[in-house]
Amino acid sequence: MKGIEDILYPLKKHYENSPLFVQSILGKIYRFIPLKYRVGEVYFEFKKLLKSNSWDSDFIKYYQNKEFLKTIEVAKKTVFYPKFYKENGVDINDIKSIDDIQKLPFLEKHHLQEFREEMVNPEENGNSLYLTTGGSTGTPTGFYYEKGVTRSKEQVFIEDLWEQQGYKNGDKCIVIRGGVISSDSNSNKFDKYDAARNWLIMSSYHLNEDTFMKYIERINQFKSKFIQGYPSALTMLAKFMNTNNVKLKVKIKGIFAGSENIFPHQIEEIEKAFDAKVITWYGHTEVLILGGYCNYDNIYHIYPQYGITEIIDINEHSIQIGEGELIGTGFHNNVMPLIRFKTGDIAQVSDKKACACKKNHMFIDRILGRSHEFILSPSNRKISLTAINMHDDVFANIKQYQFEQFEKSEVYFRYELVSPDADINEPIIVKALSKKLGDDILLKVEKVNKIEPTKRGKLQALIQHISE
């Protein structure tokens, strides 16, 4: 039995644009429907499988091989894959095991844009759910999920991560992300109760010196043990709390920070303010790779049950350890399989073999960012924003900062102070950043009144106008 959640998903915009009292009534009705009818049997079956104790190295290899071959069988039914592979000198019928995966060419974003409909399994007509990525590179991409399956399994994985801090489906949660809450353009309302999920949604777009205490008051009133949000938004609020010695009246058990790259100094700031551990993860809308941050060893574990994760160097050669681009093959979409998809995300794969948490899967030291999230030097040296991270008090009175690059020989650094009269030593910032950037990049510093978030309420740490 498939759940009704994906059936209702196309109506989500209508629900979100309806008056708040209508949302409240409909949300409460929906939440009282038993979970098995909302998310379907797939959710429970896969949750049971994921929680089982059978995930030793032999079972993982067996499971990945089985799921990979199922994905290949689906790909055979599409118009795109047999033709695409033949053009690249591969007969899809010769793929007999996961060991053959490196025979296959890489799938890139432009393939999704040009051949999306040809990549759909024709046997799954009427069983698809259309979505688009957020378009972080400026080019949103549309694709299809398998209705009643892809999102249900995704929910299982995310809840598996959150459960490390005691979260259970249906628990109260504060959510600080996204843009304007009210459909009324004249409204200053910055939060609303999502009765369907038992979440208090708070707009990250409205966070500023005038509203910080209002946000804190609402968090205290709602009495949730869990907070979810964009790292940039959580850091802003945490910095205010730490600077002004503001403490919550409620005990927070877990902070879930996602949808943006997160840096060590942000985790430190957030954990200090809320006195709770931060859970973060790496993933993307295409549902191919998911890595959860482990607080035991400060490292990401890649879920082998989610898909096949590969990493390639600059010459597109597969590597086991070191820095490279993440390549993903998903297991949970029989409508539109994505095989060896180049994510554009750069990561540092660890040589670590075991972790105290016992999840001894692929280990990622750091997610360095998207390919467009690097500052480029005249010699094409890539500088990750994680390398810009400062471990001292250089940025002590800076609320937010943003880089922008138009030419390889220079980069702009714009910063917003925590308050108009905050004290800052700009020459020290220039010296510290210039040391990180190198001698071949001129740093131009500019103080601004406000760094504007994106339409989704995120902070864009680098606006990159250069393509390699």
Write a three-state SS string for 291-345: EEEECCCCEEEECCCCEEEEEECCCCCECCCEEEEEEEEECCCCCCCCCCEEEEE
Domain boundaries defined on the chain: 374-464
Please state the separation of Cα 190 from the chain's center in Å: 23
* pLDDT at 135 exceeding the cut of 60: no
Q: Summarize the confidence of residues 211-237 as an average pLDDT.
A: 92
Give DSSP secondary structure letters for 172-189.
-EEEE-SS---SSTT---
20 CB neighbour count, 10 Å cutoff? 17
Per-residue confidence at 262, pLDDT binned at 50, 70, 90?
Answer: confident
Gyration radius of the chain over CA positions: 23
pLDDT score at 411:
92
User: How far apart, in Å, are the Cα atoms of 96 and each of 66, 68, 86, 337?
Assistant: 10, 10, 16, 17
pLDDT score at 456:
62
pLDDT score at 100:
96
The listed CATH number (2.40.480, 2.60.40, 3.30.70, 3.30.300) that belongs to domain 374-464? 3.30.300
* pLDDT at 134 exceeding the cut of 80: no
pLDDT score at 187:
47
pLDDT digits (tens, 9 = 90+) for 76-133: 999 999 999 999 999 999 999 999 999 999 999 889 888 999 999 999 878 888 887 6
Q: pTM for the full model? A: 0.78
pLDDT score at 183:
42
* pLDDT at 185 exceeding the cut of 50: no
**Dihedral in degrees, nearest 10, Cα atoms 168, 170, 171, 172:** 150
- Cα gap 75→82, rounded to integer Å: 8
* pLDDT at 227 exceeding the cut of 60: yes
Q: Summarize the confidence of residues 409-415 as an average pLDDT.
A: 91
What average pLDDT does the structure give for the chain?
A: 85
What residue type is 86 in one-letter code?
A: K
> Which residues, in sequence order, are CB contacts of 408 under 8 Å at separation 6+?
376, 377, 378, 380, 441, 466
Per-residue confidence at 74, pLDDT binned at 50, 70, 90?
Answer: very high
Percentage of the residues of the chain whose pLDDT score is greater than 90: 32
Contact criterion met (CB below 8 Å) for 6 and 147: yes
Q: Which two tokens mark 63?
A: 């499971």
User: How far apart, in Å, are the Cα atoms of 468 and each of 226, 376, 417, 456, 459?
Assistant: 41, 8, 32, 27, 23
- Cα gap 75→119, rounded to integer Å: 8
Q: Summarize the confidence of residues 454-468 as an average pLDDT.
A: 74
- Cα gap 345→113, rounded to integer Å: 18
